[in-house]
Amino acid sequence: TPDVVTVGEAMALFIAREAKPLAEVRDFERATAGAELNVSVGLSRLGFRVDYVSALGDDSLGANLLAFMDAEGIDRSHVRIDAAHPTGFMLKAMNDDGSDPQVEYFRRGSAASRLSPADLREPDPWQQARLLHLTGISAALSDGCRELVFAMARQARAAGRLVTFDPNLRPRLWPSEAAMIATINDLASLADVVMPGLSEGRLLTGRKDAAGIADFYLGRGAQQVVVKLGPDGAYYADGGNRGTVPGQPVAKVVDTVGAGDGFAVGVLSALLDGLPLPQAAARGNAIGARQVQFRGDCDGLPTREQLADAMAPPMP
Ligand code: KDG
């Protein structure tokens, strides 16, 4: 049985090798993307068994992603090949100044967007996993995807599994901001651990500060909330305990994309290792800080050895 199950869209990613508007870039590097895929990669590198639920087209982009999953040791027995729909892909610009790069999606009507509750088979061995990780991206892709993630969340909860949730707001994937906020907060209310970024949390809850955002989700049934504060670290709260863990200094931000997924890898892996929430938040910070120093969305996700280095206090 796997330790962790997650569900989402894996995409081919083409990263610009020159700092120009995407329409002018000629030279792209091939990579992989998908928030839940990134989390799967990170947890697998740390030694956890990860079962990734998804769908890919019967095309070269899909074949490349399957080979990537195999190389990363991810169980892809629940990755369905859909010959009638293509694998999604995205383009990412290169920014010299550490600001969020322009990204462009080519994913409407993709194989993964056709996932639905029909992809749940009974009984599925992955329902025995310790943890189910979800993000708001999967819920945005289609009605079927939304129904699938809600069904998985309800089943995992009923089975007493830990459900972790990263809102991962992608406004352009939603029909309206109101629909995005309502659906994401409904999904968050099925989660034990909720991990919004500060600006996401403000938009979702209407509260101004991290403590207010944490109270909002604790009031809706979450056991633990961690609010990502970027370079300022993270705010954590559970029933009794709350506080801030400082951020890790980063000499040069290369690419911000994937930092939140790195943070999730840190928090989830620490909780699976049995560590308390402040240490989980600190590990989230360390992996997020490592990830922004790499160009690919998952290139900075560490092995156990690299994690130990990333957590070590800086040399005096
Ligand atoms: O979290 C990183 C993701 O943004 C990236 O890998 C692509 O899943 C992705 C998305 O939908 O933006």
Give residue 204's domain range.
4-304
| 297 CA → ligand 1 middle, Å | 8
- The C-alpha atoms of residue 242 and residue 233 are separated, in whole angstroms, by 14
**Active-site annotation holder among 261, 273, 297, 309:** 261
Residue 156 in any domain: the answer is yes
Q: Is the pLDDT of residue 125 over 80?
A: no
Q: 166 in ligand 1 pocket by Cβ < 6 Å? A: no
Tokens of 277: 């929430």
| 255 CA → ligand 1 middle, Å | 13
Ligand 1 atom, smallest distance to 90 CA:
7
Q: 257 in ligand 1 pocket by Cβ < 6 Å? A: yes
Nearest CA to ligand 1 atom 3: 35
Q: Is the pLDDT of residue 267 over 90?
A: yes
Q: 12 in ligand 1 pocket by Cβ < 6 Å? A: no
Q: Is the pLDDT of residue 99 over 90?
A: no
> In which band, very low, low, confident or very high, does the pLDDT at 297 lie, cut at 50, 70 and 90?
confident
The pLDDT, as a whole number, for residue 25 is: 97
Residue 121 in any domain: the answer is yes
166 CB-contact burial (10 Å; exposed 0-12 / middle 13-18 / buried 19+): buried
Q: Among residues 48, 55, 47, 45, which one has the least CA distance to residue 76?
A: 55
Please tell me the total count of domains within the chain.
1
Q: 38 in ligand 1 pocket by Cβ < 6 Å? A: yes
Residue among 39, 92, 257 to mutate when testing ligand 1 (max atoms within 8 A of CB): 257
3-class secondary structure for the chain? CCCEEEECCCEEEEEECCCCCHHHCCCEEEEEECHHHHHHHHHHHCCCCEEEEEEEECCHHHHHHHHHHHHCCCECCCEEEECCCCCCEEEECCCCCCCCCCEEEECCCCCHHHCCHHHCCCCCHHHHCCEEEEEHHHHHCCHHHHHHHHHHHHHHHHCCCEEEEECCCCHHHCCCHHHHHHHHHHHHCCCCEECCEHHHHHHHHCCCCHHHHHHHHHHCCCCEEEEECHHHCEEEEECCCEEEECCCCCCCCCCCCCHHHHHHHHHHHHHHCCCCHHHHHHHHHHHHHHHCCCCCCCCCCCCHHHHHHHHCCCCC
According to DSSP, the residues that pair with 245 across neighbouring strands are 234
Residue 312 in any domain: the answer is no
Q: Is the pLDDT of residue 143 over 70?
A: yes
Quote the percentage of the chain above a pLDDT of 70. Answer: 97
> In which band, very low, low, confident or very high, does the pLDDT at 34 lie, cut at 50, 70 and 90?
very high
Q: Is the pLDDT of residue 314 over 70?
A: no
Average pLDDT over residues 41-67: 98
Q: 110 in ligand 1 pocket by Cβ < 6 Å? A: no
Tokens of 222: 């979450």
Per-residue pLDDT of 214-265, as tens digits, reads 999 999 999 999 999 999 999 999 988 999 999 988 988 888 889 999 999 9
Global pTM value: 0.96
Average pLDDT over residues 277-287: 97
The CATH number given to whatever domain includes residue 108 is 3.40.1190.20
Residue among 170, 295, 298 to mutate when testing ligand 1 (max atoms within 8 A of CB): 170
The pLDDT, as a whole number, for residue 97 is: 83
Q: Is the pLDDT of residue 278 over 80?
A: yes
Complex ipTM: 0.93
Clarify whether 70 is annotated catalytic. no
Residue 105 in any domain: the answer is yes
Residue 129 in any domain: the answer is yes
The pLDDT, as a whole number, for residue 315 is: 61
Ligand 1 atom, smallest distance to 9 CA:
8
The pLDDT, as a whole number, for residue 80 is: 97
Nearest CA to ligand 1 atom 9: 34
- The C-alpha atoms of residue 180 and residue 245 are separated, in whole angstroms, by 29
The pLDDT, as a whole number, for residue 52 is: 96
The pLDDT, as a whole number, for residue 123 is: 67
- The C-alpha atoms of residue 264 and residue 36 are separated, in whole angstroms, by 10
Residue 238 in any domain: the answer is yes
| 274 CA → ligand 1 middle, Å | 28
Per-residue pLDDT of 178-220, as tens digits, reads 999 999 999 999 999 999 999 999 999 999 999 999 999 999 9
Q: Among residues 236, 199, 200, 231, which one has the least CA distance to residue 218?
A: 236
Residue 313 in any domain: the answer is no
Residue 309 in any domain: the answer is no
Residue with tokens 């290369």: 254
